[in-house]
């Protein structure tokens, strides 16, 4: 049994009298694809935002790789990539410029960043769109770009908020295949090591 990378301990979040998340406890192991299912307003996005250090818990706590998601949020943010439900990249920048912007924001060294971008362009099937503005891409391609930018700093963990909502069946399947591939590789010690041999 592998070690739990995410631990939630009686995590709660209230907005006034509204209890968005109440007393949630669970553990998630590395290499696991784990999803929250529920109706709108069930607290799925709120839980993800707490795990990303974007929202302060009302009670309880959560850790990622042993670090508190709120108290140690600056350190924790280097441990994950986050793809929100709404497209959050820069629409007026090209695919390549978005990769470079997010890689620079995470402090990836220049030569290493260019190597990672080349791999991610192949992984996300965006090589032919490298100079296209992000805003001109189809919904599926924008989501693939968002995933690529979330991976550019080589995080061991990814958070997605409804990653395939509104996508056509082809892109939906492409994204799920990518997620399963990344999950399988993470079980053997990091996806970059395997991708170097696969690509």
Are residues 116 and 57 both part of a single domain? no
Tokens of 59: 């009670």
Task: Kindly state whether residues 38 and 123 are assigned to the same domain.
Answer: no
Asked if the structure places residue 88 within a domain, the reply is no
* Residue at 82 is within a domain: no
pLDDT higher than threshold 70 for residue 105: yes
User: What's the number of domains the chain is made of?
Assistant: 2
Q: Where are the alpha helices (DSSP H) in 77-199?
A: 95-105, 110-123, 139-151, 169-186, 191-198
Whether 162 and 108 map to the same domain: the answer is yes
User: What letters, b where the CB count within 10 A reaches 16 and e where it falls short, cover 54-74?
Assistant: bbebeebbbbbbebebbebee
Is 134 contained in some domain?
A: yes
Nearest to 154 by CA among 78, 44, 68: 78
> Does residue 198 have a pLDDT over 80?
no
Asked if residue 162 is part of any domain, the answer here is yes
Same domain, 58 and 106: no
Does a structural domain hold residue 78? no
Nearest to 78 by CA among 97, 89, 62, 64: 64
Tell me which residue range forms the domain holding 191.
95-198
Looking at the structure, tell me whether residues 146 and 59 fall in a common domain: no
Banded pLDDT at 185 (limits 50, 70, 90)? low
* Of the candidate ranges 107-111, 136-140, 167-171, the one whose mean pLDDT is the lowest: 167-171
Q: How many CA atoms lie within 13 A of 139 on its CB side?
A: 12
Asked whether 182 and 119 are in contact (CB, 8 A), the reply is: no
Secondary structure letter of residue 189 according to DSSP:
S
Residues 194 and 106 in one domain: yes
129 and 183 inside one domain: yes
Q: pLDDT by residue (tens digit) across 66-85?
A: 999 999 999 998 889 998 87
Residues 114 and 38 occupy one common structural domain: no
Looking at the fold, whether 149 and 100 belong to one and the same domain comes out as: yes
> Does pTM surpass 0.95?
no
Domain boundary among 71, 104, 122: 71
Residue 76 inside a domain? The answer is no
Q: Are 161 and 110 part of one and the same domain?
A: yes
Regarding whether 99 and 64 lie in a shared domain, the answer is: no
pLDDT class for 47, splitting at 50, 70, 90?
A: very high
Query: What percent of the chain stands above pLDDT 70?
Result: 91
Over residues 21-49, the mean pLDDT reads 90
What is the pLDDT at residue 140? 87
Structure confidence by residue, pLDDT tens digits, 122-136: 888 899 999 999 999
CATH of the domain at 25: 3.40.50.300
**15 and 108, same domain (yes or no):** no
pLDDT value, residue 2: 58
């Amino acid at each position: 049994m592998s070690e739990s990378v995410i631990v939630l301990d009686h995590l709660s979040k209230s907005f006034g009298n509204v209890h968005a998340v109440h007393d949630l406890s669970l553990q998630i192991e590395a290499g696991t694809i784990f999803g929250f299912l529920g109706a709108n307003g069930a607290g799925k996005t709120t839980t993800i935002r707490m795990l990303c250090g974007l929202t302060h818990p009302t009670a309880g706590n959560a850790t990622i790789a042993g670090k508190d998601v709120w108290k140690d949020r600056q350190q924790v943010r280097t441990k994950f990539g986050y793809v929100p439900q709404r497209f959050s990249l820069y629409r007026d920048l090209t695919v390549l410029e978005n990769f470079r912007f997010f890689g620079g924001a995470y402090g990836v060294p220049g030569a290493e960043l260019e190597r990672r971008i080349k791999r991610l362009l192949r992984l996300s099937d965006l090589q032919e769109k490298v100079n296209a503005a992000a805003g001109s891409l189809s919904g599926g391609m924008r989501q693939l770009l968002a995933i690529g930018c979330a991976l550019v700093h080589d995080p061991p963990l990814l958070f997605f908020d409804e990653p395939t909502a509104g996508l056509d069946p082809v892109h939906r399947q492409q994204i799920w295949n990518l997620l399963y591939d990344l999950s399988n590789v993470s079980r053997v010690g990091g996806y970059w090591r395997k991708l170097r041999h696969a690509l």
